Structure 1
Amino acid sequence: MDGAAMPDDSTKDVEPSPFSELDHSPRSAEPSHLVPAEFTKLLLGVGLGIAITLAATHWLKPAADRPTLTSVNSASTAATPVTLARVTVAPIQRTLAATGTVVAAEMLAILSPSSGLQIDQVLVEEGDLVMQGQVLAVLDSKVLQAQLREAEAQVQAAAAKLAELQSGSRIEEINRARAEVHSAEAAVARSESDLTLANQRVLRNQTLAREGAIATDRLDEVLNQARSAEAALSQAKATLQQATQQLSELETGPRPEVLAQAEAQLEANRQRVQTLQAQLEDTQVLAPRSGKIAERLARVGDVASGQLFSLIDNQRLELHLELPETQLAQVRLQQGVQITSDAHPNLRLSGRVQAIDPLIDPKTRMATVEVSLPDSDLLQPGMFLRGAIITSTTPGITLPAAAVLPQPDGSHLVYRLNPDQTVTAQSVEVGELLPNQQIEIKQGLTKNDRVVLKGAAYLKDGDRVEIN
């Protein structure tokens, strides 16, 4: 059959590869030059199984049905039906494999705004999504509310006093003060008259005492009356002075310093009210930003003190991969990262390198590479994940992995189609297993070569084939 008339490539009846269940993720930090051991073992197992099946089918047939030697020799020259696959050039990603832990991009510690108050309500649980300003917990506020009511009453009293001072004295108060002044003046006059009379009695009794006309006790009594009159006069003058001062204040109004003191007292009371109102607001623990509650430390009945919650800011998580310092030079910012999980086989995410920690652990010689993570309900802080950092993408020779036959000595071969419809057993050097059941061919084939995909197990070098 003419080579130009041959079927195009692997689009003809390609059976599913026996390696479809293989994990094509990178196995090591450096690309391997050999197919992984499990791939080789699997291919050997498939080939051995096919050979045993054919032998058993042959030897279990009735003798009449077995082909004679003549018919076998005749069949050896017949063409073997096969399906072909074309060697193509495809981009191959070179990766570095690493493991790491999911951490919060920014973890906020939410503290109690007021200390010493009992926790009355807790309104969120771990894992809850919250909005900025949302109430997370409520503290007991009964004592603060009582103090606020008292402070508000003090404000009202201080305001009334200041208003009275600013409005001035009423005419009735002034008239009453004038009457008190007149009364005090009259009291002073009476006290002065009493004192004058007492002094005159003292003089007369002193004369009589010298003449021996009265007893000494009588003189002492008169002297005592004089001293009492003098004290009464002093008291009357003091009362007059106080009444006069009060009248003057009422007539001229309050002094500036008195007004200033009343205003200061009112302002102090108002500040206390504002302070208590702020403390009441602090009895509500609010979310400082939107995010997810990562940890709840608050418990109803506890006295609020220190940290009550941990919040993941905007739910942003990132993966911290640990990488040996010898491979760090291959990592660049914004390189793609393929992310998988051992615990969740269906978890397959894509991220990017967003930061490279400049410090290397002196004990482990490992560096930390920070990788951005997309939103996923499966992600939680502390999770263990695997990451394959894509360091480069280069063109390479690829073909379906099912076309490669592993050999007992560890080598690999394929059957390449020749223009005369025969095949050549071609030794190849394989590289990485790739997605879509493909494998990299490092050496032994060129672009557009056609190799046997189905039926290779029945061939040997130089056999003629028939393309299905």
Structure 2
Amino acid sequence: MDHISTELNKLRIDQSKRGDMKPQNRSKARWLAAALVAVVAGVLGGFALWSGSKPIVVQTVRPRLESAANEGAVLVATGYVVAHHKIQVGSKIMGRVAWIGVEKGDLVRKDQVVVRLEDREYRAQYEQAAAAYESAQARLTELERGSRPEEIERARAEVQRAEAQVRTDEANLKRIENLVKEGVSPAQALDDARGRHDASRAALQSALKTYELIRQGARSEQIDAARSEATRAKAAADYAKTILDSVEIRAPISGTILERNVEQGEMVTTSFVGDRGAKSFVVTLADLKDIQVELDINQNDFNRIHPNQPCSVVTDAYPDRPYKCQVYEIAPEANRQKATVQVKVKILEPDQYVKPEMNARVTFLSVESKETESKTSEKLFLLPRNAMVDRDGGKAVYVVVDGVVQIKPVTVAREMGSDAAVSAGLSGGESVIIGDIRSQLKAGDRVEAQRP
């Protein structure tokens, strides 16, 4: 303890020597102290000016336009925009892609060719089947038309020749019989004459039957068999032509290409084989004029919804573009695990700003609100309730205008769940500040708006 006191005494200033300092030295010390204070003040002031010039980053939201006719809103729910019918266009045959005529986002017409496969094998099969059909048809035509006149004349000539031969052999047989009776010719000569006569008569009968067959033409059974063969050959040719036409894969409806699934040179098959290897479909197509919003409605709120109920929808991407819609489909069963019922609403007049898989907010209306919709033109803007602050006995919002904070008083018409409908004080294009940062802001502060 005594040691510490000794050291402190060494640091004590001797007041008796203070008066020995000359006046000019004291003046010089004052100027040095003043200069040091000025430098420190300048540094602190510059730092304050630099830190004050840097804007504060804040999160903002934009008001969503809502019609005043939605005063009859009974429920607000969020969901996703989906195409009513999403079609995966496949192939009826297996083959290699030779040409692709579309890209993602392209508009196509019904029956427009989108993909073409290689066709050499299928074209050869069709030509073979077509030749077989022509052959069968020619055979049928031949049988139906019967024998040609030249063939009939030739058969008649054969009959006449056989008759002449019979007459000759008959006369010769009579002459030999007389000679044998007279003993001039041997009995053997008579046997030979009789044999020739019998043979010529048999040849005559054969020629007569042949002539009759040629004159009458083919039998009905032969014609029927040939007709059946021609029909079978035609069916085979038609099938081969259908397979050949299938190398051109066409759009089944008019719509928009959502996905292109193949590239030139890849294989396409008629069955699913996985992500690698041959593909089971070539493009995904949908009619974006027929789109819906798919929602999962809590079972406790399900009693507020009924078929064909009017509603309005806005997307998160374009909150200032509302669309009319109505309840189109209610699932026949609930989801027990999520305690929800799936509901789909149809957007009545969609445009190019509504795209599948967008987030959307649907406001379900009462029937009375639909009847009064045409009687009002007042606009309401929806904001999150936590975007409002209490100020001077009312509500106000912090907005960003040209990078500067402004405080605007607003009039709240009603509250719907986590949202509030503002009827006055907003024009719809403001960037409204949200979050706890507002407690640190005042009008005139420089800020940098950032959408959440």
Equivalent residue, structure 1, for 2:290: 316
Q: 2: distance between equivalents of 1:372 and 1:256?
A: 64
Q: 1: distance between equivalents of 2:362 and 2:148?
A: 89
Q: Which amino acid aligns with 1:103?
A: V
Equivalent residue, structure 2, for 1:224: none
2:128 to 129, 150, 160: 150
2:305 to 331, 334, 343: 331
Q: 1: distance between equivalents of 2:318 and 2:314?
A: 11
Q: Which amino acid aligns with 1:363?
A: Q
SS in 2 for 1:379: coil
Q: After TM superposition, give the deviation of residue 390 of structure 1 in Å.
A: 4.3
| CA distance 1:126–1:249, change in 2 (3 Å) | same
What does the per-residue CA deviation read over 1:269-320, in whole Å, with 9 as the maximum and x for residues that have no partner? 3333333333333332222222222233344331342552332135421111
1:413 to 393, 417, 437: 393
Q: After TM superposition, give the deviation of residue 253 of structure 1 in Å.
A: 2.8
Q: 2: distance between equivalents of 1:298 and 1:238?
A: 77
Q: 2: distance between equivalents of 1:146 and 1:364?
A: 57
Equivalent residue, structure 2, for 1:47: none
TM-score by length of 2: 0.51
- Gaps of at least 5 residues in structure 2 are 1-59, 170-194, 272-279, 395-410, 427-452
Q: 1: distance between equivalents of 2:154 and 2:254?
A: 69
Q: 2: distance between equivalents of 1:386 and 1:132?
A: 32
Equivalent residue, structure 2, for 1:117: 95
Equivalent residue, structure 1, for 2:354: 379
- Aligned pairs for 1:335-350 within 5 A: 335-341=310-316, 344=317, 348-350=321-323
1:249 to 210, 213, 221: 213
| CA distance 1:285–1:180, change in 2 (3 Å) | same
- Aligned pairs for 1:129-278 within 5 A: 129-170=107-148, 172-174=150-152, 176-177=154-155, 245-278=209-242
| CA distance 1:268–1:108, change in 2 (3 Å) | same
1:362 aligned onto 2:341: no
2:84 to 81, 105, 116: 105
Q: 1: distance between equivalents of 2:413 and 2:151?
A: 115
Q: 1: distance between equivalents of 2:351 and 2:210?
A: 82
| CA distance 1:141–1:91, change in 2 (3 Å) | closer
| CA distance 1:265–1:372, change in 2 (3 Å) | closer
Q: 2: distance between equivalents of 1:429 and 1:319?
A: 28
Q: After TM superposition, give the deviation of residue 91 of structure 1 in Å.
A: 8.6
What does the per-residue CA deviation read over 1:104-128, in whole Å, with 9 as the maximum and x for residues that have no partner? 112234332x323333222222322
Indicate if the aligned counterparts of 2:76 and 2:363 stay in contact, CA closer than 8 A: yes
Q: Which amino acid aligns with 2:339?
A: R
Q: Which amino acid aligns with 1:147?
A: Q
| CA distance 1:174–1:132, change in 2 (3 Å) | closer
Indicate if the aligned counterparts of 1:339 and 1:351 stay in contact, CA closer than 8 A: no
| Greater relative CO (CA pairs within 8 A, separation 6+) | 1
Q: After TM superposition, give the deviation of residue 346 of structure 1 in Å.
A: 5.3
| CA distance 1:98–1:273, change in 2 (3 Å) | same
| CA distance 1:348–1:164, change in 2 (3 Å) | closer
Q: Which amino acid aligns with 1:249?
A: L
Identical-residue share of aligned pairs (%): 25
RMSD in angstroms over aligned alpha carbons?
5.0
Q: 2: distance between equivalents of 1:264 and 1:294?
A: 48
SS in 1 for 2:237: helix
Q: 2: distance between equivalents of 1:315 and 1:405?
A: 41
Equivalent residue, structure 1, for 2:53: none
Q: 2: distance between equivalents of 1:90 and 1:135?
A: 46
| CA distance 1:405–1:131, change in 2 (3 Å) | closer
Q: 2: distance between equivalents of 1:237 and 1:125?
A: 85
What does the per-residue CA deviation read over 1:161-199, in whole Å, with 9 as the maximum and x for residues that have no partner? 344434443455356556767999989x99xxxxxxxxx
| CA distance 1:294–1:242, change in 2 (3 Å) | farther
- Aligned pairs for 1:420-431 within 5 A: none
What does the per-residue CA deviation read over 1:321-345, in whole Å, with 9 as the maximum and x for residues that have no partner? 223222222334433224231xx25
SS in 2 for 1:375: coil
| CA distance 1:370–1:405, change in 2 (3 Å) | closer
Q: After TM superposition, give the deviation of residue 362 of structure 1 in Å.
A: 0.9
Q: After TM superposition, give the deviation of residue 136 of structure 1 in Å.
A: 1.9
Indicate if the aligned counterparts of 1:289 and 1:314 stay in contact, CA closer than 8 A: no
Q: Which amino acid aligns with 2:361?
A: R
Q: 2: distance between equivalents of 1:120 and 1:379?
A: 34
1:305 aligned onto 2:270: yes
